[in-house]
A and B are shown apart, each in its own frame.
Chain A
Amino acid sequence: MPSKPNIPSIQLGDYIVIQRQKYTKLQKFGSLDATATLGKEHLELKSLLDQPYGSTFKMCVKESKAGKRGAQRQHTLELVSENELRSIRDVLNISSSGADNRDISDNGEAQALKSEDIEQLREECSESSKIIEKLVENSKTFHTRTEYSQDKYLLKKEKKYFEFVQIRQPSIRLMADIFHRQDAEKIMGIRVDTLSQIISYSGVCGFGSYLLYESGTNGLLPAAMLNSIGAATDATLVHMHPGNVPQKQALLALKLPLEQQQRCISVNLYSVLREFYQGDRKLDVSIATEAADATQTDENSATTSEEQTDAVEPTTKKPKLDESPNLNNRSGPLRWQVENKRASALMHEKFDNLVMAAKEHPTNIVEALLPLVKPSRPIVIFSTCKELLQETYMELKASGKVTNLHVTSNWLRTYQILPNRTHPEVNMSGNSGYLLTGYTLS
Chain B
Amino acid sequence: MSFLKPKTHIEQGDVVILYLSVNSMHAIEAVPTIVNKKGETIVHIFQTPYGSLKVENIIGVEYGSRVELSKGYAHVLQPNPELWTQTLPHRTQIIYTPDISMILHQLEVRPGAVVIESGTGSGSLSHYFLRALKPTGHLHTFDFHEARADQAREEFRRHGLGDFVTVYHRDVCNLGFTNELDGVADAVFLDLPAPDLAVPHAFKALKLSGGRFCSFSPCIEQSQRCIEVLTKLGFNEICSMEVLQQESVIKTRTLPVIDLEFLKAPKEVETNTNEDAKTKEPKELKKYLTSSNPQVLPGHTGFLTFATLPPNIPKA
Contact = CB atoms under 8 A, between A and B. Distances in A.
B97 A197 contact: yes
Interface of B: 4-6, 8, 19, 22, 25, 62-66, 75-78, 80-82, 97-98, 100-102, 104-106, 108, 110-112, 128, 131-132, 134-136, 183, 207-210, 220, 223-224, 227-228, 239-248, 250, 252, 289-291, 303, 305, 310-312, 315
Interface of A: 2, 5-7, 52, 54, 82, 171-173, 176, 192-193, 195-197, 199-201, 203, 205-208, 227-233, 352, 374-378, 386-387, 390-391, 393-394, 403-415, 417, 419, 422, 434, 439-442
Contacts of B76: 376
A228 B240 contact: no
B110 A439 contact: no
Given A207-B5, A417-B224, A412 B241 contact: yes
B124 to A, nearest CB: 12
A367 to B, nearest CB: 18
B316 to A, nearest CB: 9
* Chain B binding surface SS class: mixed
Contacts of B78: 376
* Chain A binding surface SS class: mixed
27 contacts: A2-B315, A5-B208, A171-B108, A192-B102, A193-B243, A195-B105, A196-B105, A200-B101, A200-B128, A203-B80, A205-B111, A207-B4, A208-B6, A376-B64, A377-B64, A387-B289, A390-B250, A390-B289, A406-B247, A407-B247, A409-B245, A409-B246, A411-B242, A413-B242, A414-B241, A440-B64, A442-B66
Contacts of B136: 206, 230-233
B262 to A, nearest CB: 34
Residue of B4, B207, B311 contacting most chain A CB atoms (<10 Å): B311
Residue of B220, B246, B250 contacting most chain A CB atoms (<10 Å): B250
A386 B75 CA distance: 28
B107 to A, nearest CB: 9
Contact of A417 (B112, B227, B312): B227
Given A415-B242, A422-B220, A196 B101 contact: yes
A196 B311 CA distance: 25
Contact of A415 (B63, B220, B252, B310): B220
Contact of B101 (A197, A378, A404): A197
Q: Would you list the 5 A-B pairs with minimal beta carbon distance, nearest first?
A: A375-B64, A230-B111, A376-B64, A207-B5, A5-B209
Contacts of B252: 394
A228 B248 contact: no
A173 B208 CA distance: 20
B227 A410 contact: no
A192 B105 contact: yes
B248 A413 contact: no
B311 A207 contact: no
Nearest to B303: A415
Contacts of A172: 105, 108
Contacts of A376: 62-64, 76-78
Nearest to A415: B240
Nearest to B236: A166
Contacts of B128: 200
Given A411-B244, A417-B220, A422-B224, A374 B102 contact: no
Nearest to B210: A54
A147 B25 CA distance: 56
Given A7-B209, A393-B250, A205 B105 contact: no
Given A208-B6, A410-B243, A386 B108 contact: no
Contacts of B108: 171-173
B80 A378 contact: yes
A386 B223 CA distance: 34
Contacts of A377: 6, 64
A52 B290 CA distance: 54
A207 B135 CA distance: 8
A252 B100 CA distance: 27
A172 B212 CA distance: 14
A233 B135 contact: yes
Nearest to B182: A2
Nearest to A166: B310
Nearest to A7: B209
Contacts of A227: 110
